[in-house]
Amino acid sequence: MIIKSLKDIQMMTSGEGLEKQYENLLVKGVSIDSRTVKKGNLFIPIVRIKDGHNYVREAIKNGAIASLWDKSHSNPPEDIPLIFVDNTLLALQSLASSYRKQLPIKVIGITGSNGKTTTKDMVNSIVSTSYKVHKTKGNFNSQIGLPLTILEVSKDDEVVILEMGMSERGQIERLSKIAQPDIAIITMIGLSHIAELGSREEIANAKLEIITGLKDNGLLIYNGDEPLLQKVEISNSNRFIRFITFGEGKENNIYPCSVNIDSEEIRLRINHKDSPTYTIKLMGKHNVYNALASIAVGKQLGIGDDDIIKGLSGLTITEMRMQKIHSSKGFTIINDAWNASPISVQAAIETFQELMNYNRKYLVLGDMLELGENEVEYHREIAHYINPNKIDYLFTYGPLSEILSKEAMKYLGNQRVKSFTDKDKIVNKILSLAKSNDIVLVKGSRGMALEEIVNKLL
């Protein structure tokens, strides 16, 4: 974690007003939450739904050594160490950027419409076999989360893996300039945030902002099967950046020569000479792409095949990403409730339908949010990916998913499809039907909180 004097913190945040008597006090880490602040932390009061300035005294009481204070806020406390800044969020970002410049580390930045977190976990598993790694925790990938992640990096860390999320243009650019990645990855371009950005072209442009902070001689690893990304090398020909493409197409730098997927794992070989078989304990063809990008990172960092194999075989995935759980009732649950978009839902359904050795399959889908003016059609189209010979029941939750249900009835019939407005009723319906060796897939957008269904099925 960052360990600096308050005098240094003031300089790194472009702050002012710190009383001289406090200049040599030592900050050990930062916090934006007065409830979880640790002894020696710098408290940074962010203005969100609640105003963090209202909790400065509580943070000091709980162990914080000092606090930032937005100059526009009146009545600053006079009896505690304060550094005055123009904007506390920008000060947090400035502090992280300055700290990152002082660290002798390699930074890997990862963005994309889907697959960011899984790719982050794969890269971490591979790189950790050879380096001391610090990575984004969970989904801590925002304008606040990424700076906080950087400020947790210790002087002993060698590689930092940062996930970069966004909801509008300009956010990935800001994160990239803070992180200054040595290696950047764009996993894929989907439809997430199309309501805000308007088109897949604009989504691609937003993801390509990751290049803005990429260091000279830095490396961009991107999905070469995506036409919207293929312009990147031409448009950046004036910069000294290296490129590696991955995908199914043989025109990519790294592509699979053979792929075998079953209900437990993926086994693949790549086009490199004497490629071994890499085994990943995950389901789904989409994870082949994530694996290709991750293997490319390992090879760029000089990690040998034996360690790449070791890393992938010991992979641990962040919760709610095609997470297989065994219920105490005897059936299996696949918890993929973290988020949903048309592409990720299609991939999840196709993967689920190909699973073997289960008796009956239950598909639980919630609304896909932030899809803009075409949201009704996107939900209707999902029904067309459901094979009535491979899915026994479809249960949906939410007003948009009711549209999906009505369309799916054309294929599965009225008895096998039901739309719900109450999660408990979905749980009760599954519990009344599901037997040992059945399997349930639960997927929906973050705002639908379908993990509540999962937890009650356990």
Ramachandran area for residue 9 (φ above 0: left; ψ -120 to 50: alpha; else beta): alpha
Angle between helices 305-313 and 116-127 (to 10 degrees): 130
Task: Considering only CA atoms, give the Rg of the chain.
Answer: 24
Angle between helices 286-300 and 342-353 (to 10 degrees): 100
Q: What type of residue is 23?
A: E
Write the CATH number of the domain with boundaries 103-313.
3.40.1190.10
Domains 3-87 and 323-457 share a fold: no
CA 328 to each of CA 81, 115, 450, 451, 457: distance values in angstroms, whole numbers, following the listed order: 53, 29, 19, 16, 8
User: pLDDT tens digits, the chain, 458 residues: what are they?
Assistant: 999 999 999 999 999 999 999 999 999 999 999 999 999 999 999 998 899 999 999 999 999 999 999 999 999 999 999 999 999 999 999 999 999 999 999 999 999 999 999 999 999 999 999 999 999 887 788 999 999 999 999 989 999 999 999 989 999 999 999 999 999 999 999 988 888 888 999 999 999 999 999 999 999 999 999 999 988 987 887 788 999 999 999 999 999 999 999 878 999 999 999 999 999 999 888 999 999 999 999 999 999 999 999 999 999 888 888 899 999 999 999 999 999 999 999 999 999 999 988 999 999 999 999 999 999 999 999 999 999 999 999 999 999 999 999 999 998 999 999 999 999 999 999 999 999 999 999 999 999 999 999 999 99
**How far is C-alpha 293 from the geometric centre of its chain's CA atoms?**
15
Q: What's residue 325's pLDDT? A: 93
Phi/psi at 275 (5° precision): -60, 130
Look-up: residue for tokens 């803009």? 372
Count of C-beta atoms within a 10 Å radius of residue 393: 20
227: Cβ contacts below 8 Å, ≥ 6 apart: none
Within 201-310, strands assigned E span 218-223, 241-246, 256-261, 266-270, 278-280
Please give the span between the terminal C-alpha atoms of the chain, in angstroms, as a whole number: 37
Task: Give helix then strand counts, H and E, for the chain.
Answer: 16, 21
CA 261 to each of CA 77, 191, 279, 313: distance values in angstroms, whole numbers, following the listed order: 61, 26, 10, 14
Q: What's residue 289's pLDDT? A: 96
**How far is C-alpha 215 from the geometric centre of its chain's CA atoms?**
22
Class of domain 3-87 (CATH, top level): alpha beta
* DSSP 8-state code for residue 416: G
**Sign for the pseudo-dihedral over CA of 48, 1, 60, 21:** negative
Q: What's residue 264's pLDDT? A: 82
Alpha helices in 54-159 (DSSP H): 56-61, 88-102, 116-127, 145-151
Class of domain 323-457 (CATH, top level): alpha beta
Q: What's residue 72's pLDDT? A: 94
Phi/psi at 84 (5° precision): -95, 130
- 334 contacts 355 by C-beta, under 8 angstroms: no
Q: Nearest to residue 441, comparing CAs of 396, 406, 409, 376? A: 396
Q: What's residue 322's pLDDT? A: 87
Alpha helices in 326-458 (DSSP H): 342-353, 375-382, 399-412, 423-433, 451-457
Question: Structure pTM?
Answer: 0.90
Q: What is the edge-to-edge ordering of all strands in the sheet holding 417-420?
A: 323-326, 332-336, 439-443, 361-366, 393-397, 417-420
The CA distance from 441 to 458, in Å, is: 13
- 84 contacts 74 by C-beta, under 8 angstroms: no
- 417 contacts 408 by C-beta, under 8 angstroms: yes
* DSSP 8-state code for residue 228: G
Q: What's residue 321's pLDDT? A: 87
Helix (H, G, I), strand (E, B), or coil: what is residue 260? strand
- 295 contacts 270 by C-beta, under 8 angstroms: yes
Look-up: residue for tokens 């969970």? 138
- 171 contacts 177 by C-beta, under 8 angstroms: no
Could you state, in order of their start, the residue ranges of all structural domains in the chain?
A: 3-87, 103-313, 323-457
Q: What's residue 137's pLDDT? A: 82
Q: Name beta bridge partners: 134.
A: 160
The CA distance from 414 to 421, in Å, is: 17
CA 441 to each of CA 89, 324, 351, 365, 408: distance values in angstroms, whole numbers, following the listed order: 39, 9, 10, 8, 16
Phi/psi at 89 (5° precision): -65, -45
